[in-house]
Copies of this chain bind each other. A is one copy, B any other.
Amino acid sequence: MNVLSSLPAIEALTLSGFQPKRPPLTERQRQQLARVSTRVQLKPGAVIYRDGDPGNAIFINGSGVVCALKEMRSGKRRVAGFRFPGDIFGLAEHGVYLNTTRAVTAVALYRIPLDTLTTMLRQDAELEFHFFCKVVDELRHQQRKSIIVARRDAPGRVAMFIDLLRHNGAGHGLGEDIVDIPMTRSDIGDFVNLTLESVSRACRRLSDAGIVKFTATGVHILDRSRFRKLVART
**How would residues 6 to 25 of chain A score, 1 for a CB under 8 Å from any chain B CB and 0 otherwise?**
11011100000000001000
Band of interface residues on A:
35 or more
Q: Determine which of B72, B129, B135 lies in contact with A135 in the assembled complex, contact meaning CB atoms within 8 Å.
A: B135
**Oligomeric state, in number of copies?**
2
The docked-state distance in angstroms from the alpha carbon of A227 to that of B178 is: 48
**How would residues 57 to 82 of chain A score, 1 for a CB under 8 Å from any chain B CB and 0 otherwise?**
00000000000001010101010100
Spot the interface stretch: A105-113, A143-151, A164-172, A199-207.
Answer: A143-151
**How would residues 118 to 148 of chain A score, 1 for a CB under 8 Å from any chain B CB and 0 otherwise?**
0000000110010011011011101101110
Tell me, yes or no, whether A193 is within 8 Å of chain B by CB: yes
- 16 A-B pairs, CB-CB below 8 angstroms? A1-B126, A1-B129, A6-B136, A9-B140, A11-B143, A70-B147, A72-B233, A74-B233, A80-B143, A132-B132, A135-B135, A135-B139, A142-B142, A142-B143, A142-B146, A149-B150
Which 7 residue pairs spanning A and B have beta carbons closest together?
A146-B146, A150-B193, A9-B140, A142-B142, A139-B139, A1-B129, A6-B133
